Amino acid sequence: MQRVFITGIGLVTPLGLGKDNVWTKLKAGVSAVGPITRFDVSDYPTRIAAEVTAFDPSDFMKKKEAKRTDRFVQFALAAAELAIQDSQLDAKQVDTERASVYISSGIGGLETLAEQHEILLTKGPAKISPFLVPMMIGNMAAGQVAIRYGFTGAANNIVSACASGGQAIGEALRSLQRGDADVILAGGTEASVNPIAVAGFCALRALSTRNDDPQTASRPFDLERDGFVIGEGAAVLVLETEAHLVRRGGTAYAELVGYGATNDASHVTAPHPEAKGATRAMQLALADAGLEPSEIDYINAHGTSTDMNDRLETLAIRNVFQAEAERLVVNSTKSMIGHLLGAAGAVELAVSALSIREGYVHPTINLKTKDPNCDLDYVANQGRAMPIRAALSNSLGFGGHNCTLAIRRA
């Protein structure tokens, strides 16, 4: 079975573009949350989000192409280009039949759908764009990236809500291990800071309403948390087999060694009350990686800043690690960039790889009063230098989806 390595990281996030820029701000504990600027939110109970503001699609594609692609696809194309540049992979030298794309989106082109629906209501069906369907469908991020680089292996979109990006990477791992491909661009993308998506999450009462102090609104594991902050962005990773990496003389951030996926089969939005699915996902990832709990130093938690998620993810970690949980270091990237939905797992695995490479764990910001039911070491408010042998990254989604990825020092 082939070994698999992370060799390139491309990030489009509310903190900015590019891994170095984003990583510097994460280490410094910078919040990207602010007032929503993309549409009028005066009638919304939640008026804050983590928007991608430093993004111009014309930096990555022609203006004509940008007009024919939804924002979530634009993010994916940008992240893929940044990842390839970072890996120093010459895409023209790749065997394109052995190169695949696994880029997921939990929601897809909802913004395009909403805009075109308004046109249908006000102007009639004759005015609907012929690009509505190819802009809207969730697989188009993977499809467009594959077209750009001519990669003719599989091009897949695994849709599992907020576990989508993590599962895309996990399924890419399986494909590489089987020998189906040499190189895969894998990750997640989401652009859901739009009127209908925000209204939907408001109706669920899932979002923080800390509108007057947005930078403290995302507060995972804090007693006064009141919901998550919606974000947007993308992460694409270059994954390569060891043989391909050695052949081209590349370098790696970390080795991708384990993947566990489960379903709670319990509730459409709430985690299992005993955290059984999340527990088993971590156990499966550890077994797949051949790692013992004692070998894991760090967990990048799903850590949404909602009552049930934070409490039950903590329970799941304790279920798996038992006495080892006392020495574990856990953090939440969402405390700074909000919840990127289908892109979250990919961004957070990228952050975990950067943490392993540098030996540094970024802080969980806004953790002022720890919830008694959240009693682990969450690296509150101040980052920490530490050697990391191996790490887990958790992603949990509506529908009961659970995904854990395991990486170790390359």
Q: Which residues are catalytic?
A: 162, 302, 339
> Phi, psi (5° rounding) for residue 364?
-95, 110
For residues 164 and 242, give the distance between their C-alpha atoms in angstroms, rounded to a whole number: 25
Please calculate the CA angle 174-22-229 and round it to the nearest 5 degrees.
85
Instruction: Write out the E strands in 254-325.
Output: 254-263, 298-300
377-381 long-range contacts (CB < 8 A, ≥24 apart) are 377/327, 377/328, 377/329, 377/330, 378/220, 378/221, 378/301, 378/303, 378/330, 378/331, 378/332, 379/329, 379/330, 379/331, 381/29
> Phi, psi (5° rounding) for residue 324?
-65, -20
- Per-residue burial over 133-149, b if 16 or more Cβ lie within 10 Å, else e, is ebbbbbbbbbbbbbebb
Give the SS3 label for residue 405: strand
Instruction: Provide the 10 A C-beta neighbour count for residue 210.
Output: 22
Longest dimension (CA), the chain: 65
260 close to 282: Cβ distance less than 8 angstroms: yes
199 close to 86: Cβ distance less than 8 angstroms: no
How far out from the chain centre does Cα 181 lie? 23
What lies within 8 Å, CB to CB, of 348 at 6+ separation is: 166, 300, 333, 393, 395
- Return the residue matching tokens 């990832």: 285
408 close to 291: Cβ distance less than 8 angstroms: yes
For residues 32 and 37, give the distance between their C-alpha atoms in angstroms, rounded to a whole number: 13
> Phi, psi (5° rounding) for residue 168?
-60, -45
For residues 405 and 255, give the distance between their C-alpha atoms in angstroms, rounded to a whole number: 11
